[in-house]
Amino acid sequence: MLPELATLREVQGFDIRIAGCDRELARVPGALEAIDAEIEAARSHVQAVEGELRQTEAERRHAETELEEAEASVDKYGDQLLGARTNEEYKGLQQQIASTRTRIGTIEDRILVLMERSDELETKLADRKRTFGERSTVLEAQKTEIRSRAREQEEKRNQLRERRSASFARLSEEIAARYERLRGARRGIAVAPVREDRCSACNVRLRPQLVEEIHAGHSIHACESCARIVFFEEEPVSKSA
Ligand SMILES: [Zn+2]
């Protein structure tokens, strides 16, 4: 094979691998964002229960104040009862006391319900916090893993870029320009192997004459359909075996 063609294949090989690194690195921000969104969702599950618990406790404190007020009213009516001057006044106060006691019963029932609700919510909250803790540990580990893989990819890409530059520098100015032009116009692939007498990039069958010329390997040839530089690969070992 012509040395320059071998160099072109090398450069193309590096570019394909660099593009692979680019694709992988391009996925990193999205992957990290998706994990952050999952962490946030898990956190909001905890916060929802915390909010419910705060609400329940506020309602209970409110009910306790109401209870204290009702109990104070009963005491006040009791005192007034002692000083009642008429039978009617006495009966009126007794009715007030009875209805306030009924209300006290209702408030006490409500406080019990709210206390039970708080207990349930505390259990639920502890459960959600534990789940969140476990899940976020896993997710944070995933983020660390993604970041460290990204650093490796960056490192690999830097090395590939250096090696690519070194190979690329060995190309003649004309071939280098042709390569870059094709790479830009042909979705990153400027050099393609011939397989079964077809250009493997565009799949168009090559003229037998051209196939022969490529085989002879005296110069650089292009696919007549896509203009990519074409070459013959060594026969795979499995085929010759
Ligand atoms: Zn082609």
- Average pLDDT of the residues of the chain: 95
Is pLDDT above 60 for 175? Answer: yes
Under the banding of pLDDT at 50, 70 and 90, the label for residue 233 is confident
Q: Is 4 helix (H, G, I), strand (E, B) or coil?
A: helix
Distance 170 CA to ligand 1 centre (A): 25
CA of 177 to the centre of ligand 1 (A): 19
pLDDT beyond 90 at 176: yes
> Distance (Å, rounded) from C-alpha 103 to C-alpha 108?
9
What are the sequence ranges of the domains in the chain? 3-168, 173-240
CA of 12 relative to ligand 1 center, distance in Å: 15
How many CB atoms are located within 10 Å of the residue 20 CB?
14
| For range 60-77, the mean pLDDT | 97
Give the amino acid at 101: R
Percentage, residues of the chain above pLDDT 90: 93
Q: Rounded to the nearest whole angstrom, what is the distance from the C-alpha of residue 231 to the centroid of ligand 1?
A: 11
Q: Is the pLDDT of residue 195 over 90?
A: yes
69 has a pLDDT exceeding 70: yes
Tell me the pLDDT tens digit for each residue of 29-54.
999 999 999 999 999 999 999 999 99
Centre of ligand 1 to C-alpha 232, Å, is 13
Both ends of the chain: CA-CA distance in Å?
22
Q: Is the pLDDT of residue 236 over 70?
A: no
- Checking if the pLDDT of 241 tops 80, the result is no
- Ligand 1 centroid, distance to 201 Cα (angstroms): 5
Rg of the Cα atoms in the chain: 41
Give whole-number Cα distances, 72 to 68, 78, 79, in Å: 6, 10, 11
The alpha carbon of 199 and the centre of ligand 1 are apart by a number of angstroms equal to: 5
Instruction: Output the CA 237–ligand 1 centroid distance in Å.
Output: 25
What pLDDT digit, counting tens, does each position of 85-136 carry? 999 999 999 999 999 999 999 999 999 999 999 999 999 999 999 999 999 9
Can you list the alpha helix ranges (DSSP code H) found in the chain? 3-82, 87-168, 173-185, 208-216, 237-240
CATH topology of domain 3-168: Helix Hairpins (1.10.287)
pLDDT of 238 strictly over 60: no
Predicted pLDDT of residue 239: 41
Find, among 98, 116, 126, the residue nearest to 59 by Cα: 116
Tell me what pLDDT residue 197 has.
95
Residue 217, pLDDT score: 87
Q: Is the pLDDT of residue 235 over 70?
A: no
